[in-house]
Amino acid sequence: MNTSSGISVVLPSFNHGKFVGSALHALLAQSPAPVEIIVIDDASSDDSLAIIQAIAARHPCVRLLLNPRNIGTIPTEKRGLELVSGRYVYLAAADDWVMPGFFSLALRMLEMNPHTGLFCGDTVLVEGESGRPRGYRPVVRPFYRPRAAGPEEARRLLRRFDNWILTGGTILRRDALEAAGGLDESCGSFADGYLLRKIAVTRGFCYAPQLVAGWRIFSGSVSRQTALDVEKAREILWTVPAKLAGDPVFPAWYAGLFRKRWQFAAARLAAQATPINHAVLDSMAIDSPFDRATLKLLRRALGSFPSLERLATLTWLTIRVRPYPLSGLIGSALSRWCGMR
């Protein structure tokens, strides 16, 4: 297949009739426009298919495919990736959106840094149901100005924190994606996270501390359902670190560090759930008799006051795991505050 110089978008859609129209319009409004938007409906039962068809009829770059049955996000994305023709790839979500200027900024930085494998920027999080702001990602910015980093610097960053790349705010070089092996279904909902980290440590990346996308957080999302299901959360806890340990592109120390961070991520979501998901919390957060005793004490003392128990549990987890450097948290918050003034 011939390769164009532009961006190919792959957008899986399943029962996202409320949002898929705005997601597509935001993509179509980018300058430069994507060379193609491959939308794959994953056997939706709502009105999303009719909405997509109406938009595709007016925009030839929108290509609609149908899955005969629901197969899930990662297999659907893989189907789309087999068809892309652009030099660059964007993995979109039907319930999220892109900000004006995202594609032009990404292409400019990727063309200025041809050795890098991807571009990433910042994402704003909002509650899916209410639209209320929930914060920003990355929580800790890797840099406070636009610049590129090579593979070795990316590896050093992994030691301090590892979530500076969010799929919705990332543009990939297609050749880097293919060289990294694409999406690995055995990683479950973390398949995209694994892929992006692998590209970063093999090809490097470029980053701009600028909002490029919005992410709607739903309690029923795949990532949250995985984190809040004991069996699924523990499957990630063992599967992904084992793959990291067996992949020579990652530093030998990263598998253990990732495991610790995934425990914190799942335990944090369990503590934030209403009601608190004690099954996941106990399964993911307890590494020692001391931790076990502390969490039980907090539960007994504050169980009648869920908000206080939640706050105390999150504080304890943060102290024990230290998922982010304090200097990075403060620096990122200050840089965002200054940028918004």
Tell me the CATH number at 190: 3.90.550.10
pLDDT digits (tens, 9 = 90+) for 169-197: 999 999 999 999 999 999 988 999 999 99
For residue 2, pLDDT over 60 is answered with no
Query: Could you list the residue range(s) of the whole structural domain that residue 249 is in?
Result: 222-340
> Cα 282 to the chain's mean position, in Å?
25
Residues 76 and 182 in one domain: yes
Entry pTM: 0.92
- DSSP per-residue string spanning 13-72: ESS-TTTHHHHHHHHHTSSSPPSEEEEEE-S--SSHHHHHHHHHHH-TTEEEEE-SS---
Q: How far is CA 170 from CA 111, 213, 250, 285, in A?
A: 15, 9, 20, 30
For residue 18, pLDDT over 50 is answered with yes
Chosen domain end from 187, 216, 245:
216
Residues 100 and 119 in one domain: yes
**pLDDT range class, residue 1, cuts 50, 70, 90:** very low
Residue-level pLDDT at 220: 61
Residue-level pLDDT at 326: 86
Q: What is the mean pLDDT of residues 191-207?
A: 97
Buried b (16+ CB within 10 A) or exposed e, 85-116: ebbbbbbbbbbbbbbeebbebbbebbeebeeb
More confidently predicted of 210 and 279: 210
% of residues, the chain, pLDDT over 70: 96
Q: With CA atoms as reference, report the closest residue to 317 among 254, 279, 270, 249.
A: 270
Q: What is the mean pLDDT of residues 117-144?
A: 93
Residues 156 and 48 in one domain: yes
Report yes or no on 111 lying in a domain: yes
The span from the CA of 8 to the CA of 11, in Å, is 10
Residues 202 and 226 in one domain: no
Residues 160 and 278 in one domain: no
Count how many domains the chain has: 2
Chosen domain end from 178, 198, 216:
216
Using DSSP, state whether 99 is helix, strand or coil.
coil
Q: Between helices 306-321 and 289-302, what is the axis angle to 10°?
A: 160
Report yes or no on 295 lying in a domain: yes
CA pseudo-torsion sign 184, 186, 192, 195: negative
Report yes or no on 1 lying in a domain: no
Report yes or no on 254 lying in a domain: yes
Report yes or no on 303 lying in a domain: yes
For residue 77, pLDDT over 70 is answered with yes
With residue 124 as reference, give the H or E element that holds it: strand 118-127
**pLDDT range class, residue 320, cuts 50, 70, 90:** confident
Residues 203 and 268 in one domain: no
Q: What is the mean pLDDT of residues 305-316?
A: 93
Residues 62 and 184 in one domain: yes
Report yes or no on 116 lying in a domain: yes
Strands 133-137 and 118-127: antiparallel
Residue-level pLDDT at 341: 63
With residue 268 as reference, give the H or E element that holds it: helix 254-272
Residues 93 and 206 in one domain: yes
Report yes or no on 13 lying in a domain: yes
Q: How far is CA 15 from CA 21, 43, 49, 262, in A?
A: 12, 8, 8, 29
Average pLDDT, the chain: 92
Residues 137 and 32 in one domain: yes
Cβ-contact 123, 210 below 8 angstroms: no
Q: With CA atoms as reference, report the closest residue to 268 among 216, 213, 223.
A: 223
Residues 127 and 193 in one domain: yes
Q: What is the mean pLDDT of residues 104-130?
A: 95
Chosen domain end from 216, 235, 268:
216
Report yes or no on 255 lying in a domain: yes
Residues 167 and 250 in one domain: no
pLDDT digits (tens, 9 = 90+) for 217-257: 886 666 666 666 778 878 888 899 999 999 999 999 999 99
> Cα 128 to the chain's mean position, in Å?
16
Residue-level pLDDT at 281: 83
Residues 104 and 196 in one domain: yes
